[in-house]
Every structure is written in structure tokens, then in C-alpha cells.
Amino acid sequence: MPVAPAAADPLCAEVVLALPTDLEGLERLRTGSQATVAWGDRSSPVVLRCGVTPLGPTTDQCVAADDGTTSIDWVAVSGPEDAEGGADWLFTTYGREPAVEVSVPAEVTSERSTSFLLDLGPAIEQVEQTRFCS
């Protein structure tokens, strides 16, 4: 998996160290790229990359993953649906620098919800939010 442009940012190290070892039953996988974490099946893992370019204003859907304690704004973009009705999703934090990106393959979205984004909140909260979805 490609390294994000700002992967060497010290905040990315804090995010990665605070991430859960499993994600709603998806076990953590070893990765060889700085500031990346993956969970699930090696052929179609959920992949988190810290240090991606922060998003500017966008018309893409922005949602808050809020568990009552932690709230993270994500810009959510889906790919086309596959034959089983699943679609690849790309979630990028909004208003945080460095930004964090989570790619979720169709193989995962067709079997489960993406509510596991809530589990990532405490780690991503290591990066201060300076802008919010409106």
C-alpha cells in the first residue's frame, strides 16, 4: 500500500499506536508502509493511511461518526456497486491535519456495516479538528 505524503508526521505515529488491534472481528494485519494499518483478509483488507492530503470544501457526503464520547467527521465516497450489491468506500477525515483515510472494500461492505469507524475515533482524535462538516 502506498505511503501517504505526510506519513512521517509525529501525529500519525500517535494515531497508529492508539488504533485497536481488531476491528469488529477483523484481525489486524502487518503492513510494511509507514503510518498504515490494515484489518481483515489480506486479499481485501480494510486499510487506514494517516498523512493523506487534507480535503478542502467538498460537495461529497460528510458524516459524523459519533458514539457520544468521540465524534469524527468523515467525507464518504462510494464506488460503483458490485454484483453482490457491495461497493468500495473511501472515508477521509474532514478538518484534521494530517488527514486519515480508511478504504473499505466491497467484500467487507457487503457483509457488515461500516460502524467500525466509531472504533477508530479515539485514535483519530489524537489529531485536533479545526474545521467541521456543516
Q: Tell me, what DSSP letter sits at residue 45?
A: -
Residue 104's DSSP bridge partners are 89
Q: Give the percent of the chain with pLDDT over 70.
A: 100
Nearest to 97 by CA among 9, 3, 2, 1: 9
Q: How many domains does the structure of the chain reveal? A: 1
Instruction: Assess if residue 18 is contained within a domain.
Output: yes
Mean pLDDT of 8-17: 98
Q: Is the pTM of this model over 0.85?
A: yes
Q: What is the pLDDT of residues 34-92, one digit of tens each?
A: 999 999 999 999 999 999 999 999 999 999 999 999 999 999 999 988 777 778 999 99
Q: What is the pLDDT of residue 45?
A: 97
| CATH of residue 53 | 2.60.120
Instruction: Assess if residue 130 is contained within a domain.
Output: no
